[in-house]
Amino acid sequence: MYMPSAFREDRVEVQHELMRAHPLGLLIIHGPDGLDANPLPFMLYPDESRLGVLRAHFSRANPLTRQLPQAAQCLVVFQGPHQYITPSWYATKRETGKVVPTWNYATVHAWGAPRLMDDAAWLRRHLDDMTRSREAGRTPPWEIADAPPGYIDAQLRAIIGLEISITRTQGKWKASQNRPQADREAVVAGLLAEGPPDNPMIAMVAERANIAPPPRQPADRQPDAKAADPGRKAPGRD
């Protein structure tokens, strides 16, 4: 990946935070059929190797089942926040007019050797972990045990697991670091004016420009989606 030094993010904990927040990774391999890419939701286990371990699953009908054993290495791309940046915001536009649009983004690339996991106990642990991570905070949270055991057994037989011990990572946070300070401050102001106030790109640009983060809007001033839509059904009651 093209990596100007200003955009480089080598802190593993920061990379892991993005991987957890945006777990749908793009698995890329070069197998017997050439290049292949598959989006898969991944679970990250940061303490199981120096750079962490990724786990996922997919249908046995997926060609990955025969491709992965022949792939010595794979790449998983995690795409974080991204945003079009208009040059109309830049102070430089008013000074010289020598500006063009750009796109800010954060991404993590993770490499490792893929390993198929064809074990029912492994799959069940993996699915329990993934379900808990996604259902946390829901009332009530759905659990695998809520479904009939025979149905779950059939589903387990239809999938296969994937484990990747990460051997190398690259993190790239392109957040206007190559612009003058006045332009970076103008980007934060422009994003705030355009909304929403919780746009993660605001914090990305502000942090890397040493700009004080904008104050959060008080909770009592946030629009209530439920109140705004009286016909909205309660979760889990469809």
Do the domain assignments include residue 226? no
Count of the separate structural domains present in the chain? 1
CATH, residue 36: 2.30.110.10
Do the domain assignments include residue 143? yes
Distance CA 47, CA 68 (A): 24
Do the domain assignments include residue 221? no
Do the domain assignments include residue 165? yes
Contacts of 10 (CB under 8 A, 6+ apart): 171
Each residue's pLDDT expressed in tens, for the chain with a length of 238 residues: 999 999 999 999 999 999 999 999 999 999 888 899 999 999 999 999 999 999 999 999 999 999 999 999 999 999 999 999 999 999 999 999 999 999 999 999 999 999 999 999 999 999 999 999 999 989 999 999 999 999 999 999 999 999 999 999 999 999 999 999 999 999 999 999 998 999 999 999 999 999 986 665 554 544 443 433 434 444 344 3
Distance CA 65, CA 70 (A): 10
Instruction: Domain of residue 145: give its range.
Output: 5-84+102-178
Do the domain assignments include residue 23? yes
Do the domain assignments include residue 67? yes
Smallest CA-to-CA distance from 10 within 105, 78, 108, 90 is with 108
pTM: 0.86
Do the domain assignments include residue 214? no
Cβ-based neighbour number of residue 31 at 10 Å: 17
Do the domain assignments include residue 236? no
Q: Rounded to the nearest 5 degrees, what angle is found at the Cα of 225, between the Cα atoms of 221 and 230?
A: 125
